[in-house]
Amino acid sequence: MVVIARPPVVINQIGSFLTPSLAEFGARIEVVAGERECTAPWDVGHADILLTAPASAWRNAPLHPTQAWQRHGPRWVQLASAGVDGFPQWLLRGRTVTCGRGDAAIPIAEYVLAAILLRAKRLDAIAPDGPDGWLQAKALPPLGSLAGQTLGLAGYGAIGRAVAARARAFGMRVLAWRRGPWDHADTDVQPVISPEALIAQSDHLVLALPLTAQTAFCVNAALLARARTGIHLINVARGGLVDQDALLAALDRGQVGFATLDVTTPEPLPRGHPFYSHPAIRLTPHLSWTGPAVGRNLARRIAENLNRFLGDRPLLDVVDADRGY
Ligand SMILES: NC(=O)C1=CN([C@@H]2O[C@H](COP(=O)(O)OP(=O)(O)OC[C@H]3O[C@@H](n4cnc5c(N)ncnc54)[C@H](O)[C@@H]3O)[C@@H](O)[C@H]2O)C=CC1
Ligand SMILES: O=C(O)C(=O)CO
């Protein structure tokens, strides 16, 4: 059986984890690195299983698959990312696709809480350089608090749950809006029925939704007009959820007080884009997912799924690539 980890970034970042993990978790499979098996970078058609890095690695892929892919191609594609958007259509269509949902939920939740704490406590803005500066800083208005503030979650999956648990520990009121029914286990949050109800009540709004045909541009001028004045928008999901021009306008008129953006469209934004220099935007280069345990979580998941695949058991986190989640 041929398992291809593609592109080399997977082999470097995950493959080095994977080979020992495979043995550790008892998976019985040979992992074949890209160059030795592939005649061209996109030629992965002879794989039985494809393990792949996030969509950005496929940005320049051809629009059509190779003949080998059409004739044979893997039965199963395991994504390293939680997001299913942005891959070439031919890569996922007609295959069993599984994703890395939840592998980075804890670092992302910590990033969200760090953004909220920075906003409330202003530690990055207080740096007296002598006794006069000390006295001036002492005279500033009191620091803010998370306790009693309202956090809104758009999306209540792996990331939403991890954020909610931490926000509750700080005494925040947590509201959430998501697709689908709620169950008794969701006691950390108060469900709301629409994004309008969510944004109207939130001091901080966290986007933790997949990018799909239904969610694209869901944060648009009409929604932002309903926002609680001065709201802090935190996007850790996908840039395509937000109409960036509408966000800029809402920031400039003060409806949105601040935006913490780990994701944008495109990535990176072009040189000179107003987001780079806007005083009310903190921009980070799509790194909220990074953390010491993420590679290991992913390797563990892949090894578990390989064992399940070989044992003909249901795979973890199968996604419908056509629907985008
Ligand atoms: N910045 C980064 O590094 C990362 C970004 N992400 C992004 O975050 C997204 C969410 O990740 P997870 O929480 O792991 O996914 P998940 O699948 O566990 O949760 C997604 C949530 O969104 C809700 N949802 C889906 N479609 C909806 C709709 N049309 N309307 C309302 N709610 C809807 C679902 O019901 C669920 O509550 C991923 O799809 C990915 O795009 C994920 C990991 C890392
Ligand atoms: O897992 C994801 O979807 C990410 O965006 C991480 O790169």
Is the same domain home to 181 and 252?
yes
Cβ–ligand 2 distance for 83 under 6 Å, the answer yes
Could you tell me if the CB of 82 is within 6 A of ligand 1?
Answer: yes
Alpha helices, DSSP H only, in the chain? 8-9, 16-24, 34-37, 67-71, 89-92, 105-121, 131-138, 158-169, 195-201, 221-224, 244-252, 274-277, 294-310
pLDDT tens for 185-220 read: 667 799 999 999 999 999 999 999 999 999 999 999
Tens-digit pLDDT profile for residues 44-62 = 787 888 888 888 878 888 8
**What mean pLDDT is predicted for residues 126-154?**
97
Domain span at residue 263 reads 105-283
Q: What is the pLDDT of residue 5?
A: 67
Domain membership of residue 298 (yes or no) is yes
Q: State the CATH number of the domain containing residue 175.
A: 3.40.50.720
130 and 236 together in one domain:
yes
Is residue 325 one of the residues assigned to a domain?
A: no
Asked, for residue 319, whether it belongs to a domain, the answer is no
Judged by average pLDDT, the poorest of 30-34, 102-106, 218-222, 269-273 is: 30-34
Decide if 174 is inside a domain. Answer: yes
- Does position 237 have pLDDT exceeding 50, yes or no? yes
The model's pLDDT over 240-261, given as tens digits with 9 standing for 90+, comes to 999 999 999 999 999 999 999 9
Tell me the catalytic residues.
238, 267, 286
Q: Whose CA is nearest to atom 7 of ligand 1?
A: 237
Is position 299 within any domain?
Answer: yes
Q: For residue 25, what pLDDT is reported? A: 56
Q: Which has the higher per-residue pLDDT, 276 or 15? A: 276
Total count of domains within the chain: 2
Task: State mean pLDDT over 167-181.
Answer: 94
Nearest alpha carbon, ligand 1 atom 33: 179
Instruction: Give residue 20's pLDDT band: very low, low, confident or very high (50, 70, 90).
Output: low
Model ipTM?
Answer: 0.99
Q: Are residues 132 and 257 in the same domain?
A: yes
Are 160 and 18 found together in one domain? no
Range scoring the smallest mean pLDDT among 1-5, 150-154, 265-269: 1-5
If you take atom 44 of ligand 1, which residue's CA is the nearest one? 289
64: in domain: yes
At residue 35 the predicted structure's pLDDT band, cuts being 50, 70 and 90, is very low
Question: What are the CA-CA distances from residue 14 to residues 8, 52, 53, 286 (Å)?
Answer: 9, 10, 9, 18
Residues 129 and 240 in one domain: yes
211 lines ligand 1 (CB under 6 A): yes
**Predicted structure pTM score:** 0.93
Q: Does any domain span residue 269?
A: yes
Could you tell me if the CB of 215 is within 6 A of ligand 1? yes
Q: Is residue 2 part of a domain?
A: no
